Structure 1
């Protein structure tokens, strides 16, 4: 039981025992509390009390203040969220981001946890996102992928990576467990080779090097090549997570399914994979969170995702001093998405009682 739920007298005794049991412990606790209060006060004073929030005063008002310059966000938020997307069409980019959020939220509702419903949600959501971003139909002006940027591009890369990576990961995990040595060993070599390479090198290879080895008709746009490389990297790690979940399923269940006359695909789809994905849920959530944060690496190969958009937001001469505020705002965006994913993962673990006996 935590100290908060105890009676007042017992709570005081508990706190005294934990933090002030000896003179040395009392000094350490007091010094630590003083440092914590000082840091929190300075942070609040910089971020809130002495900060400038409106863009009316411009950079001059920020330079005269002693706190944070949130005016740069008020003045340059369009660049951060929409990047190079045409100004008059930025509503499409915003609506596309909202579509992805709604798609993910619907995917988290248990009522949609059937194969057909979840497939319908993702197919409809991705199609809506793509139509809104690219246009060319329904009276929407065409916008090429080279003009995509900001938060919409980050979400597109993340969703596409998961959409392509999960099926490939399951396929690789099953192939590595194959009873045919040449299949299992070849798959293991592929997985280990991909996992031994840094993600940046894979992105650079797919974005820059691969076009030299492919015919023109097979090259495609650089964005889609990078997404394929990202999905391959994700699949290699997720395949090992899924394989670990499969190893946690008792072999007797597979033998019992064989005795009932079930074929390989029935045993795999109805018995092995559901239990394996349940066992692998904590590590899967962790891998998804990591993949969302790693989308920032595409800036290395020239994409204008949200981090590059933030660099452009303060890159002009008048706002160059406000880079800390821009990065703090982008960090808050990443935190909102990642914290939501992690909390939902914790909810799933409690719902499915993963790791409990």
Structure 2
């Protein structure tokens, strides 16, 4: 007999100690494994073996089958992904989504981590996205924001929230650390007041209440008011994350830079903030993940993002029974983006050696 590799032997011994230390523990482990295996098999059978994948036969074929009805996705995927966007122009919405994904991927590459490159990527990417979605230039048909929907709208709200909210969060964090009490206390009151409110109430206030408080020329479109509300909410939470990162920087570094005569802005931008953002990286990635998932809340104020588009996809009389499959598909879309953000955060932690001082 060939001997086990030392690493394999260690893993086997570890599993035995963790799950099969006593007869009772071994019985519970085997019962749990059997239960999980049974559930996994039933899920696989429902989702794959007994499922209906093609659109042929329509709802009748799905009702006759015992598994999942993926044909609802084959028939209604355009509504889910593009919402109310005009049918003949949906290629623009799809290309806009690709542009946003490429823009995010390029921003994540270490080779692009310079101010000029990041600025060029985001200015070009946002400009192309907005030009494609709205049109009115280069012979493209004009499509107002009220017709935007699906994945493109979700990505637009997420990216805009982060682009506006992140710099605002840094400003709020620095203001809260001000040595002038009236500045730090007022900033703290603003941050704590925003954090004490649910995001839905802020979105509703910016969408419905704010127009009654502002003149017509200052109101703007409802979509942009909602984005500003979401960005303000993001900034309040991220400001506390940044402030925590600043507090984690050794006080002696700031004192040493002051003793050397380094100016405030150079001290903040070159010494304190880089270290603070390194300290706050795990919490920052978590905040980005939360913000992406919270884009679904804009359905409350009447926007057709991907979740609302999914509701419309099965809301017709012939597909009302297939809501589980629609939500499973939307969950997969969310999972792809959220899992990618989480894995990138883990890569950054390894790249920057977080916690290995």
TM exceeding 0.5: yes
What's the secondary structure of 1:318's corresponding residue?
A: coil
Aligned residues: 354
Q: For 2:213 and 2:9, locate their aligned partners in 1 and report how far apart those are by CA, in whole Å.
A: 75
Displacement of 1:274: 0.7
- Cα 1:67–1:6 change in 2 (3 A) is farther
Moved more, 211-220 or 248-257: 248-257
The residue number in structure 1 matching 2:135 is: 135
Q: For 1:10 and 1:215, locate their aligned partners in 2 and report how far apart those are by CA, in whole Å.
A: 71
Displacement of 1:8: 6.2
The alignment's TM-score, normalised by the length of structure 2, stands at: 0.97
Displacement of 1:22: 1.8
The residue number in structure 1 matching 2:321 is: 321
The alignment's TM-score, normalised by the length of structure 1, stands at: 0.97
The residue number in structure 1 matching 2:300 is: 300
Moved more, 16-25 or 171-180: 16-25
Moved more, 23-32 or 231-240: 23-32
Matched, 1:182 2:178: no
The residue number in structure 2 matching 1:97 is: 97
Displacement of 1:256: 1.4
Matched, 1:122 2:122: yes
The residue number in structure 2 matching 1:76 is: 76
Moved more, 252-261 or 102-111: 252-261
Displacement of 1:19: 2.4
Displacement of 1:92: 0.2
Compute the RMSD of aligned alpha carbons: 1.3
Q: For 2:83 and 2:26, locate their aligned partners in 1 and report how far apart those are by CA, in whole Å.
A: 52
Displacement of 1:254: 1.2
The residue number in structure 2 matching 1:168 is: 168
What's the secondary structure of 2:304's corresponding residue?
A: coil
- Cα 1:160–1:18 change in 2 (3 A) is same
Displacement of 1:264: 0.7
| CA deviation map 1:225-273 (0-9, x unaligned) | 0000000000000000000000111121112112222111111111111
Matched, 1:244 2:244: yes
Structure 1: segments with no counterpart, 5+ residues:
none
Structure 2: segments with no counterpart, 5+ residues:
none
- Cα 1:25–1:257 change in 2 (3 A) is same
Q: Which runs of 4+ in 1 moved over 4 A?
A: 4-14
Q: For 2:7 and 2:218, locate their aligned partners in 1 and report how far apart those are by CA, in whole Å.
A: 71
- Cα 1:145–1:5 change in 2 (3 A) is farther
The residue number in structure 2 matching 1:269 is: 269
Matched, 1:259 2:265: no
